[in-house]
Each structure stands twice: as C-alpha cells, then as structure tokens.
Structure 1
C-alpha cells in the first residue's frame, strides 16, 4: 500500500491543482468567451475521440496492465511487449478510420438538424482519436511500470495550462475561432507526444522486434482478454459519453455546452479515485498473479475508505455552494443545476463502491464485468432515449445516475459472492453521517458579502467541521498518518 498511498497522494495533489486550472477554463473563461454552441462543439469532439480510441484500442490498455507482469524484464526489453502492445491497436485504428469514412453520411445525418456546426470540423475527430489512443496506451504502459505521476501532471495540469493559453489568445483577438479549434486539437494531441518523450527518457521505449522473446508469453490469453475488455470498454464509454452524443442529436450543441460544463463540476468528485486507481490497478494484477486474496481485500477496503472520505467532502462542498457557482456563470447555464446533483450523486456512489470493477476485470471472472457493461450500456441508451426528449439535459443526468448505481450494485454483489470481499465497515456510515452534519452547518450559514468570500468562508467551515471529525474519530488512518508525517517533516 506504500507506493499506492505515496503516488496516489501525489496524483491527487496534481489533479486538484489541475482542477483549479480546469475550473478557471470551464467555468470562468470558456462560457464567457465562447457561446454555448462553440463550447458544446469542443466537448462533443473530445467525446467522439474517446469513443474512436476505445474502438481502436481492442481492449489492450486493460490487457497490458493485467499481463505486463508476465513480460516484465527490463534487461530483455520486457520481451518485446511494447511492440505487441502498440501494434494491434494501431491496426485497429486503421480499421476504425476506414469505417469512419464509410459511415460518414450516417454520422452527418445524425447531427445535421440540431448540431450542424460539428459537420464543419468532422475530420478533426481522426487526429484526436489517434492521439487519444496513443495516450491511453502509453499511460497504461507507464501505469504497469508504476510511473503514474508524470502522466497525471501532463493530463491534469499541463494540458489545462496550455488550454488556458489558447483560450486567452482567442479572447484577446489573436486569432479567429477556426484557428482556436485547430490549436485546441493540437494541444490535446500533444499529451501523447509528451508521454512518448517521458518513456524514452526512462529508457523503457523498446520497439526493436525480437519475436522469439514472445514465444513463451501468454499472447493468446492477452488477445482474448483484450477482446473481452474491448467490449467492456466500449460499453463503459457508452455509459459515460452517450448522454453527450445524444444531447447533440436531440437538443443541439448549446445544450451540450451547458450539460458538459455542469458535468465537469460534478466530475471533480472522481479525482481522488482516479488518482488512486492509476497505481492500484497494477497492484491488483500482481495480487491476482500471486493469489494474494488477503492483501487484495485489505487494499479494497483502504482505497474505498480514502475515496469515500474525500468524495463526500467534495460533494457536500459543491452542493452547499451551488448558488455561488451559477452566480459565476452566464444565466443560461443555471439549467444545469440538477445535472450537477444527479451526476454528483452518481460519481459519489461510484467512488464509494471502491475498486470493484478493477477487481472483476483483472480476475478470472473478467467476462462477468463485460456482461454487466453490455447490459448497462443498453440500459443507458434506452433510458437516454426516454429521458432526454422528455426532460432534456436533466433527463440525461438522471439516466446516467441510474446506470452508475445499478452497475456498481451488481459489481459489489458479484465480488462478495465470488471472492467474499466487500469494502464497507462501520466507518463508512460514520463518514456519511459526518458529511451530512457538515453540510447542514454549511448551508445554515447566511450569505456573506459577495460570491468569492461566501464560497471561501462556507467551504472553510464545512472543511473544518468535516476534517476535525475525520481526524478525531480516526476515520481515515492512512490520511491521518500521512498528515502527521508531513507535519513532522515541516517541523
């Protein structure tokens, strides 16, 4: 757990520094500099690129993390792992690109009525898809090497700083929107190139083929696992992104802009989990390889407890300041109030259920997670078909929340039935109770002077009450020990 705690905390610090920049970009700059339709265009392009990359990857990002322990041997260039790991997904990208051209008319007709602006920049999706694919593969490779801090810095901080620069350049009139969007694509593509430079710097970029090194490795199992993971990843991506794509079809890019801005605010809750999962996933794969179920069960509880502590604080902090947040946005964005509530609850439940999905996908029962994802993706599509026309962007958020809750409940049940592991204990209820008390204290505070001061004081009050309770009741021993060590070091 030592490396997980250390790099997890480092990743979290980087992520939250990035959140500050991301908040400035998403809430204070983009909505005021671009109109809702232009904001929606940038979000929809990225969403489609993610789906493009998932289809192309053939599940190898997941397969690489699971099977890398069988290849790991730096003196032998990791037995040509990287060539195999990159080669098949790049072949998959070429196949998906061919389909992208063949189905061009269908995609165009899908967005023609409500979101015609996307058609002008249709081909931007191809480079975005390619470099998103490469970033995901390089990131998975570095995760397997237990090198997660630099990828976090590039994705969560460096990318957002560059985005700030090009937003300000557009607002100052240095270039038109067409040039801004081109720079936006270039900046997002640059992440993969940065990881390539980092891997080369680590002297881990081994691409000289040595096919004999692969003969005794579990290649067939890796491909088979990757294909199952592909279907699972596609299903997961559908659950995450289909709402944005269907809003673009039914409501238009302006609603996409409002919805994704609200979704970004809610997504802050996921940061602690995302930071921990990056380093926990290869550890889980090692535990399965060594059949160390006891250590895996301990890790399950520890990661869940840390996620719940930070996730609850973020959720109550966001919802207690919801009026303040919309005071900082253009008036039309207030339509996203209950989008934040529904998606925030979905993200919190996802955090609270810990690493159940990672446990299943790296176990011998990985096929079950595929089945769950397929069922839930179908449910998500149909619920969005019903809720978006009826309730607009709030309906899309409600559909997403129902999907997250159901899939994680099923995963919890399966992990318990098959492996007799569950992540909760009495501290979970104590954490939630403390969060409720802290929230009530925060909303009881009258409005103060102006929005920035009110946010600062209200958030400080909630954090003080919540943090004091966590420390006094010792509800997060890992965080308490780390804080004590930091204070001693500072002295």
Structure 2
C-alpha cells in the first residue's frame, strides 16, 4: 500500500475514533455539569475564531509555495519566517485588543475580557500549531497531525472536566490542564516535524526579497486569511454568541445536542478523500455530464445514510435523555435537535458543492461564499438574540438559515458554471419514507422500561426504512450489503 493510501486509511480511522470519543463524552460525562462544559466550549471556539487573524493565511502559503522553496532549499527559511511572523502578528493583535478595550471600557464586561488570560495565550499556541499542521502535509503526513487536531482537544475537554467535577480540582487548575494539552500538542508538532527532517532555523529575508517573491506570498496569504476567517466564524460563532449573550449552561446544553446530532454527518467523513480525484478529473476533462451524475450519486449517498441516522436519533433521543445526567434540560431543548438535524440533512443533500468550486478555476469564489456565510451567521444570530426569546433554539434556527442559504448560493453557482445539480427526486421519496417511519415509531406504544424504548423504536425505524427502500429502490443498498463488499472492508 502506498504512503498516501496508508495515511488515508489511518486518517479515517483516527477521525472516526475521535468522533466517537467526543460523542461518548457528550452523552455520559459532560451532562453532569452543563455550566462548566459550556465554559470549555466557549474558550476553544472563541480562540479558534481569532486564530486566522494571527496566522493571516501563512499556513496555506507553506503548502502553496512548498515545491518552489523546497527546490531552492529554502523551505525551512519560509517555515522559520512564518512562525516568527505569527508571533509578531500575535503581539500586534494583543496590543490592539487591549487598546480597544481601553478606549471602549464597556467591552470589559464581556466573557472574552474575563477569560482573556486563558484565551489569548491559546490563540498563539493554536496559531503556531496550524502552521506546523499545514507544513507537515507537504510530507504527505496527515495521521499524526490529525491526532493533535482531533484527539488532543477532546482529551483536553474530557480531562479538564473530570478534574473539575469528579476530582474536585479548582477550576483554574482544570483550565491549566486544558491549556497544557494544547502546549503539549504544539511541542509534539515541532518534535514530529524535526523527526521527519531536522529543522534548520533561518530568518534571512534576501530570498523572499528577490523578484518581489514576498508580494506573491502576501497576496496568496491574504486570500487564505479571508476564506479561513469566514470558515472559522461560521463554525464557531454559535458557542461564542451563546456564551456572551445567554449563559454558559445553555452553551453546554447546545454543545451536547450539537455533538449528538452531528452523528448524521459520519458518512461524510473520509468520503471527500475518495471523491476529490474524481471531481478533479471530470473538471479537467470538461465532462460536466459525468460530473453531474457523480455529484447526484454522492449527494444521494450522503443524504440517505444521514437520513437513516437522523430518524434513529430523533425517535431515540427522548429515551436517551432519560439515561443522561440532567437529561431533563436536554428534553426541554429537543426542538434544537430537529432544527439542527434538518439543516445538516440539507447540507448532506447538497453533497460536495464547495469542493467542486474549490477544485475549479473559480476557487476564489469560495472565499466570497465563506465571507457571506460568516456575515449571515452573525446577522441572523444577533436578530434572534436581540428580537426573540427563543434562546438556543433561536441560535439553532439562525444556524439553519445561514447554512441553508450558503448551500443554495453554491448550488446556483455550480448549476450556472458547470450545469451540475445535486438534488434528485429520490431524495423526496426518501424524506417521505423517513417522515412515515418517524411517525409510526413515535405513535407506537411505549414500554415501561425506557431501555427497551431506546432500542426498539430506532429498530422499527430501520426496518421500515429498509422495507420502503426495497420497494421504492431509492438507494442501492444491495450493492453494499453483499459478501464481496464486506470482504473488501477487511482487505487491509
């Protein structure tokens, strides 16, 4: 097996294990203290939103220009200067942050100001880590960085929570452990990079001044920054908004629900690594008809499998909540499950819209779209926070609106430019079948033991979906439920 194949398989395995670890903790650990978990879920997303400002796209430039600088033996020169630039950017950012808070004292009532001594150092550590993370991809090494990127944050959350709640350690000590895990991750990045090829610090500027090469790097970094900050805002703004404008307890509840419903996105994990070469090939050949067929096929796969998981989650959620500590809080917020679930289902139904754009000559449009998404997310969040009393349900609705509009823009763009369209009539049949299955399971009588309801109702949903799919031929399950396919899963 090639290095790329081995790394791809290991990357997927680590991704799934990390996802399952996070889901397990969300069900069995974090519900014991929603407020403290809400604080943890405020700290990291807030720091991640600020990271692109400090990195300023330099991590992407270390990938884009690696071939050129490596051929000239200057890749360590570029890495060294990138790390130095991140530190300088951080100092400027911190200076600007304190100046703004001095000029506008009302900002000092924010949760960000209250937790600045933890969040700001976290920004620097994450920013330096992101440069190493992207630099390592040049060596086709994605497994170890994935451990640092996926496992460390989960271990940091679980460890800090257990120290605080189960062992009675002071919250400041728990925060210290939380921060220390990311410092260890940064050290790990440096050690692993040095192990692959000994790092040779070089802070000379002459190479980059030649032919104004630095301008080219700056321009590309700027585009990377604009796209990346939009992405980080869109992903993390919910936790920041809830923490600032509602409270940490509600942030913990929202984060728990989000982690559980995110199970429906599992089919998406790793599939892009398989699909990217095919998308790239069809774009290069200009065979848009084949691209459209492939787009519809992958979109249907993601949507149908996500729908199956969604139906099982929504009928089992009330009974699952009964087994969770503080489950009554989750039960009272059950509408959030439906809103987030439908938004994620539509996202799955649109398939790899964004990837088609990013792999085409119109890749810069993705930057525009990501910035639109960021503005939409902030605007809709503020509308629901300021003008309604819906709380985290309002945040969920805002998320659903912005994500759906974001996907619609990409659908329209891809249809105009490439004549590809992800949605099909099969999806409507699948939705009808899913609604019938959910309603049948809900109206079936409950057993006195909730553990039986937790398993038997999702089982009913699975049976109905399987029978309905057999007759309607929505999704070709027969291609995957055969001996040849199952054996192929274990070849490695």
> For 1:22-57, what per-residue CA distance to the aligned partner results, in whole angstroms no more than 9, with x for missing partners?
13322322221x3x4322221111121011102212
Structure 1's 22 and 447: CA in aligned 2 closer, same or farther, altered over 3 A? farther
- The alpha-carbon distance between structure 1 residues 475 and 131, as it changes in their structure 2 partners (threshold 3 A), is farther
Report what 1:409 is aligned to: 408
Shift in Å, 1:403: 0.3
- Aligned residue among 117, 120, 123 for 2:117: 123
| Residue aligning to 2:31 | 31
Counterpart residue number, 2:173: 179
Question: Could you tell me whether the CA contact under 8 Å between 2:164 and 2:171 is conserved in 1?
Answer: yes
Instruction: Report the Cα offset of residue 417 of structure 1.
Output: 1.7
Deviates more, 1:70-79 or 1:172-181: 70-79
Q: Is the 8 A contact 1:167 1:180 kept in 2?
A: yes
Within 5 Å, give how 1:245-394 maps onto structure 2: 245-277=240-272, 291=284, 294=287, 297=291, 304-327=299-322, 328-330=324-326, 331-361=328-358, 363-389=360-386, 390=388, 391-394=390-393
- Contact kept, 8 Å, 1:71 with 1:217, in 2: the verdict is no
Aligned to 2:16: 16
Say what the alpha-carbon RMSD is for the aligned residues: 4.2
Secondary structure of the corresponding residue to residue 398 of structure 2: helix
Change (3 A) 1:313 1:83: farther
Aligned residues: 481
> SS at 1:254's partner residue?
helix
Query: Which residue of 1 is the match for residue 43 of structure 2?
Result: 45
In structure 1, which of residues 232, 238, 244 is the aligned counterpart of residue 239 of structure 2? Answer: 244
Deviation at 1:386, TM superposition (A): 1.8
The 8 Å contact of residues 11 and 152 in structure 1, kept in 2 or not, is answered as yes
Distance 1:266 1:375 in 2: 25
Please state whether the residue corresponding to 1:365 is helix, strand or coil: coil
Distance in structure 1 (CA, Å) of the matches to 2:287 and 2:204: 38
Look up the SS of the partner of 2:167 in the other structure: coil
Q: Which moved more, 1:440-449 or 1:162-171?
A: 440-449
Q: Which runs of 5+ in 1 are unaligned?
A: none
Alpha-carbon distance between aligned partners in 2 of 1:303 and 1:87, rounded to the nearest angstrom:
42
Rounded Cα–Cα distance in structure 2 between residues aligned with 1:430 and 1:170: 49
CA distance in 2, matches of 1:488, 1:373: 39
8 Å contact from structure 1 (residues 159, 191) kept in 2: no
Q: Would you say the 8 A contact 1:154–1:191 is kept in 2?
A: yes
CA gap 1:100/1:167 in 2 versus in 1, 3 angstroms? same
Contact 2:56 2:221 in 1 (8 A): yes
TM-score when normalising by structure 1: 0.80
User: Cα–Cα, structure 1 residues 387 and 200, in superposed 2: closer, same or farther, change >3 Å?
Assistant: same
Please point out which of 152, 157, 175 is paired with 2:146. 152
Which is worse superposed, 22-31 or 392-401?
A: 22-31
Structure 2 gaps of 5+ residues are none
Give SS of 1:395's match. helix
